[in-house]
Structure 1
Amino acid sequence: MAETPKIELRNICKSFGKKVILDNLNISVAKGESLVVIGGSGTGKSVMLKCILGLLKPESGQILIDGEDITNASGHRREQVLRKTGMLFQYAALFDSLTVWENVAFGLIQAHGMKRGPAKEIAIQKLSLVGLGADLADKRPAELSIGMQKRVGLARAIAAEPEIIFFDEPTTGLDPIMGDVIDTLIRDCTQDLGATTLTISHDMESAQKIADRIALLYKGNVVWAGPATDINTCGDPYVEQFVHGDVDGPIKVDILKP
């Protein structure tokens, strides 16, 4: 008997007015797997993630976590399910008014009811896992570089040792060296946790470094999915066009002309 997917989307549809964003989208992520969903701007990656998190509600379809349909779950039940998740936002999304350690420990204190003392100890431990020293714990996010802020965001994402971690464009805004550092930290930290991860990205190099499997999204649906090791040799015309950045191919780019 096949194992129940950790995350599963079944025939998800989402539109804004007449514009269809997700069109019967089907995606599944196995327990402990790292899936990276790639695709250009406007292909539905962010909308998909927002639907999973409950920030948007699809018109139809099912979203299942550990086999439980949470599509129409109550706010309380959804909150309970989301406690097993962590999230690294595109630009880290740190709270400027909080110190670094308070940012990392935010979920531990607010969602899990942990006292500040033990929460700070865990925060400093997680900071060390992403290569940041305890001397940074009482600094403000504005005092850190973008790369450091991203690492603080990663420490926050893993602070509660979640079963599922979502990554929203984790290398956006970083230079290639720091991007590689973040990719390595993501891979190492999530493997140590045994977490299931779902990443949305347009960065092919990053995707290949952190993914077990890659899915290419176009016009709200998966046009190719397979092992990350196959992406350069699969011969799929959608993948080839995306990987090489060609204008000509099955992926049509809408360009507004003056």
Structure 2
Amino acid sequence: MAEHTAALPKIRIQGLTKSFGSNHVLRGLDLVIAEAESVVVIGGSGTGKSVLIKTISGLMDADGGSVEIDGTDVLSLPASERRTMMNRFGLLFQSGALFDSLSVLDNVAFGLVEAQGMPRRQANEQALDYMAQVGLESDVGAMYPGEISTGMRKRASLARTIATRPDVVFFDEPTTGLDPIMGDIIDELIVKCVQEFKITALTITHDMDSARRIGDRIAMLYDGKIIWQGPTAEIDNSGNPYVHQFINGLEDGPIELVTSRA
């Protein structure tokens, strides 16, 4: 255990706060993620999971606290240096967020061409390789997002996310909108990609089946803070009444229904 704690974590979040007027969404959140570790943050709708990812990834400014990547607090960097740091991140949006006007191949190659300046032919070759990694045939590359199924769009989004070989990937509700079988497949692909490319992954979800498949460790967000975290195998015996109520879908318990938080 001493060796693990002595190593510099890939991500260290300390005292992270974010409010929208009087709505205090993140209230001094702390979380540490080791390099090549897959951590899943669970919590009900409206508990701030999406706000957490947006503030860590730079899509939204935090009010306070720090987010260290490899020991560097990205929140305190000048804008230009922060953008450079953010280029090391990948984000798989809940909706997939493919560009409707681009073919699947151009979508997957987008980051290689636009962010990394790779020549189009080389980018297309690499994009086809990553499409194959997620089980998409090459002929799908000529199709457009509106012409393929929801599951195929999610696969294409995953291929685009990993194509730039990010150090860190954020997965936003990766199985939302998918049937249970396709949800299983997407989770397996995420695990495969994270392990094969040694990616540090932070996933947010309310889907406990997905959380168990993806996470090395699970943390629960409630009332703006992480109230429990531990190895995935220990969550059923957490001893935490909030966790027990959430993972078992119980109506009775300490969790208050949240309807007004982001």
TM-score range, shorter chain: over 0.9
| Further displaced range: 230-239 or 61-70 | 230-239
Give the structure 1 partner of residue 91 of structure 2.
87
Amino acid at match of 2:23: K
Amino acid at match of 1:192: E
Shift of 1:83: 1.6
Alignment of 1:201-212 (within 5 A): 201-212=205-216
Report whether the alignment pairs 1:52 with 2:50: no
Residue number among 2, 25, 32 corresponding to 1:28 in the alignment: 32
Whole-Å separation in 2 of the counterparts to 1:188 and 1:100? 21
Alignment of 1:229-248 (within 5 A): 229-248=233-252
SS at match of 1:61: strand
Residue number among 224, 248, 252 corresponding to 1:220 in the alignment: 224
- Could you list the per-position Cα deviations for residues 7-32 of structure 1 after superposition, in whole angstroms to 9, with x for gaps in the alignment? 11110111111111000100111001
- Could you list the per-position Cα deviations for residues 41-99 of structure 1 after superposition, in whole angstroms to 9, with x for gaps in the alignment? 11111111111121221221111111101113222211211121211110100000111
Give the structure 2 partner of residue 200 of structure 1.
204
Give the structure 1 partner of residue 160 of structure 2.
156
Amino acid at match of 1:200: I
Whole-Å separation in 2 of the counterparts to 1:33 and 1:170? 17
Shift of 1:255: 6.1
Alignment of 1:130-149 (within 5 A): 130-149=134-153
Unmatched runs of 5 consecutive residues or more in structure 1: none
* Equivalent pairs, count: 256
Residue number among 121, 141, 145 corresponding to 1:117 in the alignment: 121
| Further displaced range: 145-154 or 100-109 | 100-109
SS at match of 2:170: strand
Shift of 1:232: 1.2
Report whether the alignment pairs 1:42 with 2:46: yes
Report whether the alignment pairs 1:62 with 2:62: no
The TM-score normalised by the length of structure 1 is: 0.97
Amino acid at match of 1:229: A
> After TM superposition, where is structure 1 displaced by more than 4 Å over at least 4 residues in a row?
none
Whole-Å separation in 2 of the counterparts to 1:54 and 1:131? 31
Q: CA RMSD in A?
A: 1.2
Give the structure 1 partner of residue 253 of structure 2.
249
SS at match of 1:248: coil
Whole-Å separation in 2 of the counterparts to 1:160 and 1:57? 24
Residue number among 171, 185, 188 corresponding to 2:189 in the alignment: 185
CA contact (8 A) 2:88 2:166 kept: yes
Give the structure 1 partner of residue 19 of structure 2.
15
